[in-house]
Amino acid sequence: MTQIIIGILHDTRLLAMILASIAAVATVLTLAMPLLATNTLPKRMKAVAIEREKIRQRERERMARGEKVTLRQTPKQFMQRAVENFQLNKWVGQEEAREKLVQAGYRGQAPYVTYLFFRMVTPIVALVFSVLYVFVILQIDKPLTVKIGMCLFATYLGMQAPLLFLKNKIQKRQLSIRRAFPDALDLLLICVESGMSIEAAFKKVSNEIGTQSIALAEELTLTTAELSYLPDRRQAYDNLAKRTDLEGVKSVCVALQQAERYGTPLAQTLRVLAQENRDMRMAEAEKKAAALPPKLTVPMILFFLPVLFIVILGPAAIRVMALQ
């Protein structure tokens, strides 16, 4: 097997064909991805409306039969039993985990139980798989301590896998909110200056901003409900800041709390905050653009310079070889 791989690496024509095929496939995918991208918001909203009608009809029938009605999603029974039997709430359960789940868009008891269950299962699965792979399948000629260390490292990665998945979801959700938040502030400013109350403004903005960021539309809708039902309106703004965990959103929430407490004019504050958020978004884009040349240095050295040397020195080398 090793000789075959070495022979393939020494065959320049075969390597050139493989690299050309990969480049052609990558080019086709790059050109086709924008054409394949579709706007899924109307389909999702239609599916939500259909599901809402189904749930409403089902709950009416259940109420007619006199059954107990619950509005919260219940976790899987086997996950719930595992969490309760092993008392995972005490070992790996923490309030920070609930905050991270909310920031990732998972609300309720069911996602929390699922998270605790996978925090227990993934290390066991990683340990079993690593033991089978290292000691049975691979059979590497290494000391026993090295093999045990590899298995323990795989177990640690399995323990961190649910947390890494959660952090990835949080980053994607925050990126979506950060990109659409300045436009949402502009819409909120227009609604407030037109004479709308803050609840009506949040509701209107949540309906309009859904085409840009579904996550931001969900957060604004939830904030509208909390403003209507919570006894302390400032708590609704605090909850919005905690769920998003973004500096721009936190500053807006603080401004809204001050407006509620002291009666300060809200329109001018929103105008300034909208401009600041746009400046922050532009500064972030300029930062990424400034970091692009150092990142391109290694790809240019690895891919561009060898091709350039071949194009420049290739004809001379062919003439020298022909003269010899």
HEC assignment per residue over the chain: CHHHHHHHHHCHHHHHHHHHHHHHHHHHHHHHHHHHCCCCHHHHHHHHHHHHHHHHHHHHHHHHHCCCCCCCCCCCHHHHHHHHHCCHHHHCCCHHHHHHHHHCCCCCHHHHHHHHHHHHHHHHHHHHHHHHHHHHHHCCCCCHHHHHHHHHHHHHHHHHHHHHHHHHHHHHHHHHHHHHHHHHHHHHHHHHHCCCCHHHHHHHHHHHHHHCCHHHHHHHHHHHHHHHHCCCHHHHHHHHHHHHCCHHHHHHHHHHHHHHHHCCCHHHHHHHHHHHHHHHHHHHHHHHHHCHHHHHHHHHHHHHHHHHHHHHHHHHHHHHHHHC
pLDDT at 171: 92
Q: Give 157-185 pLDDT, tens digit per residue.
A: 888 888 899 999 999 999 889 888 888 88
pLDDT at 70: 44
Angle at 313 between CA 308 and CA 314, to 5 degrees: 95
The DSSP letter of residue 84 is H
pTM assigned to the model? 0.65
Q: State both tokens at 9.
A: 């690496």
Instruction: Determine the average pLDDT of the residues in 205-220.
Output: 86
**How sure is the predictor about 72, in pLDDT bands with cuts at 50, 70 and 90?**
very low
Q: Give the whole-number percent of the chain exceeding pLDDT 70.
A: 78
- Tell me: pLDDT of 76 over 70: no
pLDDT at 170: 92
- Tell me: pLDDT of 25 over 50: yes
**How sure is the predictor about 82, in pLDDT bands with cuts at 50, 70 and 90?**
low
Residue 6 CA: distances (Å) to CA of 2, 3, 17, 143: 6, 5, 17, 28
Question: Can you give the residue ranges of every domain in the chain?
Answer: 1-32, 73-172, 174-287
pLDDT at 168: 92
Q: Of 324 and 45, which is predicted with more confidence?
A: 324
pLDDT at 255: 85
Q: State both tokens at 247.
A: 């500096």
With a CB cutoff of 8 Å and minimum separation 6, the contacts of 180 are: 209, 212, 213, 216
Lowest mean pLDDT among 24-28, 180-184, 213-217: 24-28
pLDDT at 261: 82
Lowest mean pLDDT among 40-44, 95-99, 208-212, 231-235: 40-44
Where in the chain does DSSP place strands (E)?
none
Instruction: Determine the average pLDDT of the residues in 267-294.
Output: 83
pLDDT at 39: 64
